[in-house]
Amino acid sequence: MKTIMKTSIVLAMIVAAATTRAQDRSTDPLQRITQCFRGGEFHAEGTYRLSESVVSRQVDTATGPMRVSIDDGYRMMIYRKSTAPLVNLLIERSAAGQFASDREAISRHMAALAAGSPPPEKVNVEHSALHGIDIIAINKPAMETSGVISMVQLFDAATGTIATAHILNQQGPAREFTSAADYAVLRDRFIGALSACMARKS
């Protein structure tokens, strides 16, 4: 599971170059989401807009690789009080007419991750909704290892926006939680803030 989730992060950042379609960067509809993390409890210390050459990425599924379109996007490293980052966040807008297929690809990817997780770290895909935003998540049951402890996907059909939050297992003195229960509260507070931000349309 550790290897699979690390691979997922790498894939989320890979440039799947395809220059047959030029992106319109005259507007920046995702900027309103990045602005939610310019201050406050959860704040970004690194915000990077994806290159115009990044028009898709690939995710692995049980039936083979599937393409996720990218019309625009941002990568953000989110911090709270610690010197260590808490969330590696990817925000993307699907290409016109591609949101449904992108969501299906990501949903199948999450199902494949869960199916491939070995005991004792067996996980399930969890479904929920907040502020009108659909959410699917995988939460690792143990916190002894470094890396990703939760992978959460948020879908806003109204704007064709998809957020991928890799919540990181901080280590040592930098860790901001002392138990699984503490972590769950912190995770849910961040996802609540992110979903509320995505739900605001201005």
Host domain of residue 170: 2-10+30-179
For residue 122, the model assigns a pLDDT of 86
Which portions of the chain are predicted below pLDDT 50? Answer: 3-4, 7, 10-22
> Are the beta carbons of 4 and 12 closer than 8 angstroms?
no
CA–CA distances in Å: residue 135 to residues 6, 34, 46, 129: 21, 19, 24, 5
pLDDT of residue 7: 45
Asked whether residue 18 is assigned to any structural domain, the reply reads no
Strand partners of residue 166: 88, 151
Is residue 184 domain-resident? Answer: no
Q: Is 154 inside any structural domain?
A: yes
Domain membership of residue 16 (yes or no) is no
- Establish if 138 belongs to a structural domain: yes
* Predicted local confidence at residue 23, as pLDDT: 56
Return d(Cα 79, Cα 69) in angstroms, integer. 28
Per-residue pLDDT at 75: 97
Q: pTM for this structure?
A: 0.87
Q: In this structure, are residues 164 and 149 in contact, taking their beta carbons and an 8 Å threshold?
A: no
DSSP state, residue 143: -
Task: Confirm whether 67 is domain-assigned.
Answer: yes
CB 86 within 8 A of CB 170: yes
Looking at residue 120, what is its pLDDT?
78
Domain count for the chain, please give it. 1
pLDDT of residue 116: 92
Residue 59 in any domain: the answer is: yes
